[in-house]
Amino acid sequence: MGNTALITGASSGIGAEMARYHAEKGGDVVLVARSFEKLHALKSELELAHGIKAAVITADLAQPDAADSIFSETEKKGLQIDVLINNAGFGGHGKFHERDLAKDKAMMQVNMVTLVNLTHLYLQGMVERNQGKILNVASTAGFMPGPLQAVYYATKSFVISFSQAIAQELEGTGITSTVLCPGTVATGFVTAGDLDGVKAWDNAATPQSVAKCGYDAMVKGDLVKINEKGLDFMLNWVIPFMPRKSVLKMSQKFMEKE
């Protein structure tokens, strides 16, 4: 049985920690992102520390043909993907009508379209082998609308819905689909999404703890995993029963800068 994980967004943050955790367990990795040097540094680190094989594929997941290129690269290299971790993603702060639409379209491509494309491509082999694991990284943002990050929150809602639906379709097979929904995490995500100064990140979790939590949930075949118990309770047992206007106001407050 193979144990090769393809991880998108492996050059930093949660994705890099997932790669470290998988390699620690003896699994091979295919590291995908744009940052060539960071990916190669991680490849050397993991091969040296754990004696595993690491392949690097540099790709811009905002390009419409990214998933096809990545798939043909793994085919060419003869790599069987047993674990697919769709982790790459980014956000962006500001009122929707004031934001650069091109950035939001790239965000939708990375956070949703390429994730769906990769899942479709790699699921074919998993179905043939009746074996595989899929871990999609969404966010607690996906549980409600997000004024000041309208498109980002919507992309994460999409991922939560998509991931659960295919999990049900795959019920009874050897393949599972898990969606990880982290609260705030201290990574490059904050600066990349122009979120510096948003108080919500004052008490952010570490990427190591979030990666472990999501990876372990994937191994168990959990459907949805929220990394913090308090947030899990709020999102499932408090917010759904609040008036919609109050949820929107609270959500906007959460994204305001100091």
Ligand X SMILES: NC(=O)c1ccc[n+]([C@@H]2O[C@H](COP(=O)([O-])OP(=O)(O)OC[C@H]3O[C@@H](n4cnc5c(N)ncnc54)[C@H](OP(=O)(O)O)[C@@H]3O)[C@@H](O)[C@H]2O)c1
Q: Which residues bind ligand X (CB under 6 A)?
A: 9-15, 33-35, 59-62, 87-90, 110, 137, 139, 182, 184-185, 187-189, 192, 207
CA–CA dist 130, 124 (Å, integer):
10
SS3 235: helix
CA nearest neighbour of 27 among 82, 75, 87, 77: 82
Token pair of 148, please?
Answer: 């000041």
Q: Closest approach of Cβ 44 to ligand X, in Å?
A: 16
Q: Quick one: CA torsion of 211, 216, 221, 223, rounded to 10 degrees? A: -50
Angle at 11 between CA 254 and CA 23, to 5 degrees: 110
Whether residue 152 lies in the annotated active site: yes
Q: Which member of 21, 122, 152, 215 is catalytic?
A: 152
Cβ closest to ligand X, residue 129 vs residue 206: 206
| Beta partners for residue 60, in sequence order | none
Q: Closest approach of Cβ 110 to ligand X, in Å?
A: 5
Q: Closest approach of Cβ 127 to ligand X, in Å?
A: 25
Under a CB-based contact definition with an 8 Å cutoff, are residues 52 and 79 in contact? no
Cβ closest to ligand X, residue 103 vs residue 129: 103
Cβ closest to ligand X, residue 131 vs residue 252: 252
- Beta strands (DSSP E) in the chain are 4-8, 28-33, 54-58, 83-86, 132-137, 175-181, 224-226
Q: Closest approach of Cβ 249 to ligand X, in Å?
A: 21
Cβ closest to ligand X, residue 174 vs residue 214: 214
Point out the residues that are catalytic: 152
